[in-house]
Amino acid sequence: MSLFSLAGRRAFVTGANTGIGQAIALALAAQGAAVTCAGRRPSDETVARIEAAGGTAQSLILDLADPMAGRDLFAGEGYSILVNNAGIIRRADSLDFSEADWDAVMDVDLKALFFTSQGFARASLDTGTLPAAIVNIASLLSFQGGIRVPAYTAAKHGVAGLTKILANEWAGRGINVNAIAPGYIATNNTAALRDDPVRSQAILDRIPAGRWGAPEDIAGTAAFLCSPAARYIHGAVLNVDGGWLAR
């Protein structure tokens, strides 16, 4: 079997109805995984694209505004891959940022990620569905402060920390836990930045690759981290950013 094959494995991807999550679901399916595409809205387009390419997928409605919504989905289901991609962002000056926006971002981007991972790991260990892999979607703001996104920055710093502690606890038990820190990717979450010509140009000027990233730029890294080729990678936060952090 290829070092990069995911044949015979079952994957669960949150936020798979669009953007980075959709691209990751397609990439996992292309390597042979059967993919459950979870999202607040139906992932019918993602499923159709996977099936058209000869893969196997299903759509699942999952709203992680309830951070416990994913915790009990894994028992007895045979999943060995979890990609925690779902996330939201709220923008406002830190002087004006509301408690409601803070709690909404923390619930989806951090609390749900932890308890979904907990449920997945518990099921994997209980049933011996190992080796298993968890890939968290972090951010450049796991390393930097950003502007006007205090809750998102705090949550993504937390994602990096959770990735490390879960790797410390689970690496020796057959579960790889790693994260990807995407750079500036053309998705719904960055629409406000791309629509601001001054901010967009300032961002482009700093990216050595000279372009905004595409969701597909993240997908290959996710498939790699789920594969046997990444078996000895634990607790890493891999920046896939067109060279942004090297600048």
For residues 208 and 242, give the distance between their C-alpha atoms in angstroms, rounded to a whole number: 6
**Which is nearest to 177 in space by CA: 230, 235, 124?**
235
Which residue ranges form the domains of the chain, and what is each CATH number?
10-240 (3.40.50.720)
Q: On the CB side of 96, how many CA atoms lie within 13 Å of its CA?
A: 6
pLDDT at 228: 97
Active site positions, annotated? 152
Which pLDDT tens digit goes with each residue over 93-107? 999 999 999 999 999
Cβ burial of 230 (10 Å; 0-12, 13-18, 19+) is buried
CB 151 within 8 A of CB 101: yes
Residue 186, φ and ψ in degrees, nearest 5:
-75, 90
Low-confidence ranges of the chain (pLDDT < 70): 1
**What's the pLDDT at 188?**
81
Residue 183 CA to residue 231 CA, distance in Å, equals 24
